[in-house]
Amino acid sequence: MTTAHAADQLDTITERWTTLADRAGDRPTTTWPPAMGITRLLSEQERQEQAAERLDTAPDAPGPRPAPVDVNILDVMTTIETGLLEAADAIAERVQRPGYRAQTGRGWTDEAHREIALLAMKDAADPRRWKLTGQRTAPDAAEWLAQRLRDQPGPFRPLNETERELVAAVAATAAELLQRTLGDARQRTDIPHPCPMPCGGQLVVEGGDGQPPVVLCEDCGRTWRETEAPGDAA
């Protein structure tokens, strides 16, 4: 699992979050137990235990456990968001430099003090900083974490190996959840018209996952895209 790959996974979350939100029909308003979040930086052993646990409860894991058929998208969104926000909070706490403080009473001239105070204000308000309070979203956190993985400049120290691995683990879980949800959401519905080809087979429409819908014949396998009327396809 490379850092570059993890950063790409975070980009995917940023890019596809709106699709996920559209699919859900609304922004998440529920709270959900943080299934994948890190509230603090874990020891190697704790991390392995958690990884094993995650592995064990993965819906696609082998073994006789009830497979979840219908994933609630809002819950998935909240799980992803919680994990990303907690990761960003934990990383920011470690790598984000505190804002400069303008000290008073050091005998500076007024002008010098004004300048320092201005610098301190600008530093504290640096938009590259991760905000620990206020409105924070999953795409915000994904973007910020991707920037940290890519060592982009700002009031931060570079991530160390442990921190990179933690971010990568959260990115991988979040990306997998997102992709599985979007992928699973593609639906297949029968169309009450026979295939216009000699086979006269059953037509179905596939779509609903943000990708262009496609009509296909279950018998002859011909497909039609949205811009073509059935029968026009070669």
Contacting positions for Zn ion (CB under 5 A)? 195, 197, 199, 201, 217, 219-220
Q: Could you tell me the smallest distance in angstroms from the CB atom of residue 205 to Zn ion?
A: 14
6 or 195: CB nearest Zn ion: 195
42 or 197: CB nearest Zn ion: 197
Strands of the chain (E only): list them.
Answer: 187-194, 202-207, 214-217, 223-225
130 close to 144: Cβ distance less than 8 angstroms:
yes
165 or 219: CB nearest Zn ion: 219
140 close to 168: Cβ distance less than 8 angstroms:
no
21 or 203: CB nearest Zn ion: 203
Q: Could you tell me the smallest distance in angstroms from the CB atom of residue 191 to Zn ion?
A: 12
Q: Could you tell me the smallest distance in angstroms from the CB atom of residue 221 to Zn ion?
A: 7
Q: Could you tell me the smallest distance in angstroms from the CB atom of residue 212 to Zn ion?
A: 20
Sheet holding 214-217, edge to edge: 187-194, 202-207, 214-217, 223-225
Closest CA to 167 of 181, 192, 148, 183: 148
> Which two tokens mark 216?
């296909």
91 or 203: CB nearest Zn ion: 203
* Distance from C-alpha of 23 to C-alpha of 185, rounded to nearest angstrom: 8
Q: Could you tell me the smallest distance in angstroms from the CB atom of residue 10 to Zn ion?
A: 42
